[in-house]
Chain A
C-alpha cells in the first residue's frame, strides 16, 4: 500500500528531474561554448594590450601584474556602471564571468543594486555576495598549500613553487 500511495501522490525524484530536463529549453552547447571562448578571448586580448603597454614602460612581468589587475578591474567596473557588462554576461556566460573583469562586475553590480538598502548593510555587505566565496576558498587553498610547502621544507623536502 505504501508503494501504491507513492506512485499516486508523490513523484519520484529521479522522474521529476527527467521531466524538468525534458521541459527545459535546451542550450545550444556548441554556440554557448563558442560565445564564451570569443568573449573570454577578447577580454584577455585587451588585458594583453594593457600588459604590453606596462612592459613597454619598463615594468617586469612581475611588477606589471598589480597594475594589470587594477586596470582590468577598472574596465569591468566601468562597463558594469555603463550597463554594458551585464548584457555581455547574458550572451557570453562564463566568457564574461571568468576573467577578472567578471569578478569586478560581481562586486560593482550588487554595489549599484543594493545601495538603496543602505551603504553599510546594503552595499557594504552585498558587495561580497559572489566575490566573498571566491576569496574564502581562494585564501584557504593558498594558505593550506603554503603551509604544506613550509612544513615539508622543514623536513628537507622542497615542494611548491618558490620552494
Chain B
C-alpha cells in the first residue's frame, strides 16, 4: 500500500513539474528551483506534512520534499535556539543528502567519463 501512494504522489509531482515546463517553457533548472521554494512555503503553512504522512518517499524524494526538509529543520532550530537556528536548521536537516551529493559526484568523476 505504501508503494502505491509513493508511486502516485511522486509521479503526480513530476507530471505537474513537466506540465510547468511545457506551459511556461522554463528550463528544468528553473522549475527545480521553483518546486524547492514551493515545497518550503507549503511546509511552513503546514500543507506538506500531510502529504509526507500519506505518501512517504513519494513526497520526500521529489525536490519539494527537499524544500520541506529545509524549512522544517529551520523552524525546529529557530524555536529551540533562537534566530541563529534559522541559519543552522536547514543544513542540519539536509546536510547528509547534500554532502552525499558532493562526495558521490567527486567519486563518480574519478571512476567514470562522460559518454559521447
Contacts and interface: CB of A to CB of B under 8 A. Distances in A.
Interface in A38-55: 38-45, 47-52
Top 6 A-B residue pairs of the complex, sorted by shortest distance between their CB atoms? A44-B10, A40-B14, A41-B11, A69-B97, A47-B57, A146-B74
Interface residues of B, number: 82
Contacts of B12: 37
B32 to A, nearest CB: 5
Interface of B: 2-3, 6-15, 17-22, 28-29, 31-33, 35-37, 40-41, 43-44, 46, 49, 55-58, 60-63, 65-67, 69-79, 82-83, 85-87, 89-91, 93-98, 100-102, 104-109, 111-115
B75 to A, nearest CB: 5
Interface in A107-121: 107-109, 111-113, 115
Contact of B97 (A39, A73, A112): A73
Given A41-B7, A150-B83, A69 B18 contact: no
A40 B10 contact: yes
Nearest to B104: A77
Interface residues of A toward B: which range? 35 or more
Contacts of A142: 40, 67, 70-71, 73-74, 86, 89-90
Interface of A: 27, 29, 32-45, 47-52, 61, 65-70, 72-74, 77-78, 80-83, 86, 92-95, 97-104, 106-109, 111-113, 115, 123, 127, 130-131, 133-135, 137-139, 141-143, 145-147, 149-150, 153, 160-163
Contacts of A98: 13-14, 17, 31-32, 35, 62-63
